[in-house]
Every structure is written in C-alpha cells, then in structure tokens.
Structure 1
Amino acid sequence: METKNRKLVDQLEEILEKNRDAEKGYRKAAENAESHGLKAFFDRKSNQRKQFNESLKRELVANYDEIDDDGSFTGTMHRAWMDVKAFFSGDNDESMLEEAIRGDKAAVEEYEEVLKEELLPMSVGTIIREQLMKIKADLNQIKSLEDLKD
C-alpha cells in the first residue's frame, strides 16, 4: 500500500479502535452511573459508537480490503481509569461525565484531522463528517446533563 494511503488507513483504524474503546467505556459508565438520566445518556453513547464503527468499518473494508480494528491499549487504560474514578470519586456521575467530555473532545480533534486528508474517499469522508457532527452535538448538549445528576 502506498505510504500516503497507509497513513490515512492508520488514522482511520485508530478511529475504529477509539470508537470501540468509547463504546466499552460508555457502557461501563452506564453501569456505574447513579443518575437514571446519565445511565440513559451513557447507554445511548455506547450504542452510538457501536453504530459508528459498524458503518465506518463497512465503508473502510469496501475501500481498503483489510482493516485492523482491535481495541487499543490506551482505551483499555482509559476504561480502567474510569473504573478507578467511579470507585474513589465523591461525585461519580460528575467525574464520569467530565471524562466523557474529555474523550469526545479528543475524538473531535481526530475526526477533524482525518477530514484534512486529500486521499480520503468521498464515501468515508461523508461518514466521518456525519459522526463528527453527532459528537459535536452531544458535546453541546452536555451542559444540560448536569441537571440530570439530581
């Protein structure tokens, strides 16, 4: 595979890995959340990231044949950190929500970086843009979630 294509495929595989990690992290957060509203939010986010990966992976396989999409070590560490925060934090829901915000902000940066790539197939770019808009919309709604902690 050409070096430029390899770099792009590596970036897209990283998004797949981080989405899989986010799916698991949000599922774990839903299990640990005390607020019913936050449980529902984290469940929705987990399902959303699973759907993100299903559609993105389908398109990547169509464009690049082989895709490596195992979960990342960093993501495993992130989930472990969320477990520790949930156990030790005086305000579990708030800590998990802050961690979710941090993760989504990082995802926005990665998605925007991929969209700068000239070799990005139009079909993959469309999926990346749609997913990016959903992540940004969730970040904009997070302020209202602080009311759900009660």
Structure 2
Amino acid sequence: MNNSEKAVDVLQELNQFVNDRIEGYKHAASVTKDPAHASYYKDLINQSQNFSNEINSSISSMGGSTQNSTTAKGKIFRGWMDVKSSITGSDEEAVIKSNLTGEEWAQKAYNDALDHRGELPQNVVQMVEKQKQASLATCERLRQMKESAD
C-alpha cells in the first residue's frame, strides 16, 4: 500500500467518526428541551457536515471513494442511548454526557489519524489538526454545559 492509499484509508476511517458526530448531534437536537442547546447542536451538525465535506474532498483528490457511513461503535452507542432515554427519559445532563462521550471518541479518531501524519499530505495534516482543535473546543463547551446542568 502506497502513502496515497494509506492516506485515503486513514481519512475514510476518520470520516466515519465525523459522520457519527453528525448523527449524534442530530439526535441531541431532536431530544433536547433547551432551545439554546438545540441551536448549538444544529451549529455542530453544520460544522461536522463541513468537516465531512473537507475530508471527502481530500479523499477524492487522492483518488479514493468518499465515505458517508458511520462506525459500528457509533451505531451501537446511539442505539443504547435510544433505549436508555426511552426508559429514563431524555434529561439534559444525559444528552450532554452522550455528546461529550462522542466528542471524546472524535478526539481519539483525530489523534489516530494524526499518528499517520507521515503518510498524509501537509495540507491534509493541517485540516485534521484544525478539525481536532474545533472538536477539542466542543469538548470544553460540553463540559461547561454539563457542569451547569449538574
């Protein structure tokens, strides 16, 4: 496998986590009872869609197939959260906690992608780092929201 093929694989995997992020925030926006939180989650959906478009553009430019699916882990997690909320209700703290868990998974996915920085073009490394920083800022905001909800 050459560097371009490896880079495509890395980005396809990363984009599955970004797609998980989109689905997670769509769910959060639909169940939250707080209008400010719903607005924030909708902003994060748009941000994530932009991230996915950037990643898919990079994949295409390297000759790979774009990635529009989500991870199995994310599907299982969202299913579990649906079951949990049907039993306990969708309180704001639970919604925020599930978003925080998803964002922490995204951080791991960005770190995993950056572990392959030697196989990625410099502009792609910069894109991944920029997205990782935005995800990190989201983690911080979600932590603050969680503390306010406690």
Query: Aligned with 1:70: secondary structure?
Result: coil
Query: Aligned with 1:64: secondary structure?
Result: coil
Post-superposition offset of 1:7: 4.3
Q: Which amino acid aligns with 1:33?
A: T
Verify: 1:72 aligned to 2:75, yes or no.
no
Q: Distance in 2 between matches of 1:36 and 1:146?
A: 16
Equivalent pair of 1:85/1:92 in contact (CA under 8 Å): no
Unaligned runs of 5+ in 1: none
Q: Distance in 2 between matches of 1:132 and 1:100?
A: 16
Verify: 1:86 aligned to 2:64, yes or no.
no
Post-superposition offset of 1:93: 1.6
- CA RMSD between the two structures: 2.2
Q: Which amino acid aligns with 1:141?
A: R
Q: Which residue of 2 aligns with 1:48?
A: 47
Q: Distance in 2 between matches of 1:140 and 1:71?
A: 24
Q: Which residue of 1 aligns with 2:127?
A: 127
**TM-score normalised to structure 2 length:** 0.85
Post-superposition offset of 1:22: 1.6
Q: Which residue of 1 aligns with 2:8?
A: 9
Post-superposition offset of 1:123: 1.6
Q: Distance in 1 between matches of 2:122 and 2:50?
A: 19
Q: Which residue of 1 aligns with 2:99?
A: 100
Equivalent pair of 2:17/2:109 in contact (CA under 8 Å): no
Query: Aligned with 2:119: secondary structure?
Result: coil
Equivalent pair of 2:8/2:64 in contact (CA under 8 Å): no
Post-superposition offset of 1:121: 0.9
Q: Distance in 1 between matches of 2:33 and 2:147?
A: 13
Q: Distance in 2 between matches of 1:27 and 1:95?
A: 15
Equivalent pair of 1:37/1:148 in contact (CA under 8 Å): no
Q: Which residue of 2 aligns with 1:139?
A: 139
Post-superposition offset of 1:56: 1.2
Post-superposition offset of 1:6: 4.2
Q: Which residue of 2 aligns with 1:112?
A: 111
